[in-house]
Structure formats: structure tokens, C-alpha cells
Amino acid sequence: MSAPMESPNRLSVLQALRAMAEGSLTSEALTQACLERIEERNGQVLAFTAVDAGWALAQARAAGRGGGGAPLRGIPFAVKDVLDTRHLATAYGSPIYAGHRPVADAACVARVREFGGLVLGKAATSEFATQTPSRTRNPLNLEHTPGGSSSGSAAAVADFMAPVAFGTQTTASTVRPASYCGIVGYKPTFGFLNTAGLKPLSPSQDTITLLARTVQDAALCAFGLHGMRVQAGPLERPRLAVCLSSQWDAVRPEMAEAIERIAAAAQRAGATVRRMRLPAALEPLIGMQGRLFAFEARQSLAYERQNHAAQFSPRLQARLAGGEGIDAAQYLAMRQRALAGRQALADLFGDVDAILYPPAQGEADEGIADSGSAQFGALWSLMHVPCVCVPIARGPRGLPMGVQAIGAYGDDLRTLQAAAFIHHVAQQAELA
């Protein structure tokens, strides 16, 4: 007698696609299982801000009637609440937009439907994807933060409410929650996923991202949005480098030790691993990223500043004030320095497939009033390079910790494959 099928909401995207292709699963059954999990857990986790169960199931039934060749056929996506959805309220994490109904879907949402997927619901975000957290809790320990700003997206995937979710990243808004929640967070090369319909914050850095439970799933969905079927199996004998910088002074011992352990395990599994130092010319760009962010965010939120500033949180007010003293000439100079940095960074990847770097100081902190430091994603978001965070260890409180695999600009598939290798090694060694 065959073993009973795992509850559909716990299947990976790849497993669900295979089961639907074989006829042992329908999109409706998968979506229903996700909705039941949302009903069971969302009152505690607070991952979703808007769900229309009837509409989600109607989409699933329609997907089931569609052609079998669509790369995302039948897969339900959670959508971060800074991405427009015309059927669900989109508040951008702010009371200013409570009940707001956009007239059109964001491009990435429309592409989900174009290639056979469906929208499950809206996932919570911090205020305009900045620093003031949502009410979302870490599903692995409700007393701890899930990270931000893609808090709801990470929590939904980690708690089996959705197999995949859209996030965004301007500094570390995907890699940090992925690390805190023990899942995979993929920030593609800047511009790989179209940002039309994203509430802009820092347009020179805003990136649409994906959160999933496996690297394979992240790759399937990212490339599926381009109509492609891509599988990112582990790279054979990857060339890895642990990248040291001044930021390591802020890394907790348990995170540093976890990265050392995964580097050693990767070497035993056939990878080439070495140490490298971040070039001195790139170090100042870490701090510059925040100033560029503040300047652009002040412009992006000009309407809200002029008409609804009283509804801003104190943190957002302070962040926007940081951009007030920057003039156009200084802004253009920062853009030029960022461009030069990207050119210098490219040289590091001549004999390296992926750089290993911490996504956070350590495991998730207790409390939800603060979502943790974003500093470890700052440089890489500014550099526009692909980053994949995978779980590699548990911290002293038993919560997950991840590592970033960072690749060369435009070399997303190789970066995903290197990350898949690291994730596989961590699972085999039972480090994660």
C-alpha cells in the first residue's frame, strides 16, 4: 500500500507541479489546503493582511482548466503588500492607504496569472517597506521577529500557508527574513523581475524577490515568470569565497561559527573554498547606500509627505529627514560611485562562483518592535547582484540562521546553483 500523500500545503512548488502533472493533485486542492492553514494559523502569525478564499479557489479552478504547459500552472502565490493587486486591498503597510484598491495588478502579479499561477492573498509588510515593522510574528517562535520588510511573505512560506511568496528588497528585506524564518530568499539581479506596480521607495535599488522553501522552487518561479522552465540543481564543485569586511565586527559568534562550519562542510563535499577581503574601495559604499536610500525615498514619498505626514511613524519621519540635506549634485555623485563599485566588484568573480556573507547578525531577536539590522544586505543591494539566502544552522535559542550566496551581476542561474549546493550540504550534514 502506498504511503498517504503529504498535506498539499507542505509540498514544495516542484512537488506540487509534478503531482498536478501526474493527476494526483489539483490546484484547487492545493489552494484549499493553503487556505485551511491560513485559517488555522494566521490569527497568531498575522502573515496575511487580505485573503478572499472564494476568489482564490475560483482562480485555482480556472488554472486547473488551463493548458498543462504553463510553467506556474496552479501554484498559489502570496503577494507582499507593496505590490498592487486589483482584486485585493493594497495598503503598502501604511494607514494612509487603508482599503486602497489599485486599478491594475503589478506586472509580476499579472505575469503569475499569464503563466498559470494564482494569487492567494496579500502578505504583511512594514510601513512602505521601511523600518517600522508589521504585526507579523515569527512562526517558529511567536515571541520573535520574522524580520522585515518582507515579514508576512517569509512567515507565510515558513508556516506552510503558501508555497512561494513575492517579497521585495531595497537593503536586506528578503535575505534577513529568510534567515530568521529558516527558508530560502532570492534577490535576483536588479531589474530581472519588472517593478511596474511596485510602490517605489529607492528606485535605483528596489528589487522584486521570491521567498520559498527550496532553492529549486525559487528558481522555478523566478524563471517561470519569464515563461521558462529552469531547474537549479546543485552546482558541481563550486568555487566559493567567504568574504570578510568591517561588518563582521557586528556578527554574533554563533553566526560566524555557522558560516565557518558550512564553508568547511562545503569543502569536504568538493567545493573550493577560500577567504577574500572586501576591497577597501567598496567599504564606504555600505554607509552610502543608506544615504542614497533616504534621498530617493524622500522623493518617492513626496505626495505622502506633503499630504499625510502626520500618519508617518517616527522611524519613517527620521529616515526621510536623512535625505533632506542631500542635493542633486551629491545624489548624482553617489550614483557614479555606485556604478564604479559595481565595476570593481565584477573583478572579484573572475575565479569565484559565489561569495558567502552573513545575512544578519545572528538568529531572530525576541520581540516584534524591531525587525533587526539591515546592514548586511546594504552593499549587495546597491551593487545590483543576485543574492540567495539559505538556512545553514540553528542559533542558541533554536531559531534558524542562514548564509547569503552572492553572485556576479546577471549570473543568477549559477548563483542559484551554488546556493543549492550549500543548502544540500547543510541538509546532509544536518547543520540546518
pLDDT at 154 over 70: yes
d(CA 68, CA 410): 30
State what percent of residues in the chain have pLDDT above 70.
98
Q: At 115, list the grid cell.
A: 503563466
List pLDDT tens digits, range 75-92.
999 999 999 999 999 999
> Residue 265: CB partners within 8 Å, gap ≥ 6?
425, 426, 429, 431
| pLDDT at res. 431 | 75
pLDDT at 322 over 70: yes
Report the catalytic residues: 80, 149, 173
Domains along the sequence of the chain with CATH: 8-224 (3.90.1300.10)
Q: If pLDDT is split at 50, 70 and 90, which confidence band does 429 have?
A: confident
| pLDDT at res. 2 | 44
230-237 mean pLDDT: 94
| pLDDT at res. 4 | 52
State what percent of residues in the chain have pLDDT above 90.
95
pLDDT at 126 over 60: yes
| pLDDT at res. 430 | 81
pLDDT at 69 over 60: yes
Residue with cell 555606485: 338
- Average pLDDT of the residues of the chain: 96
pLDDT at 185 over 60: yes
| pLDDT at res. 64 | 77
| pLDDT at res. 68 | 67
| pLDDT at res. 432 | 72
More confident residue, 152 or 2: 152
| pLDDT at res. 1 | 38
pLDDT at 149 over 90: yes
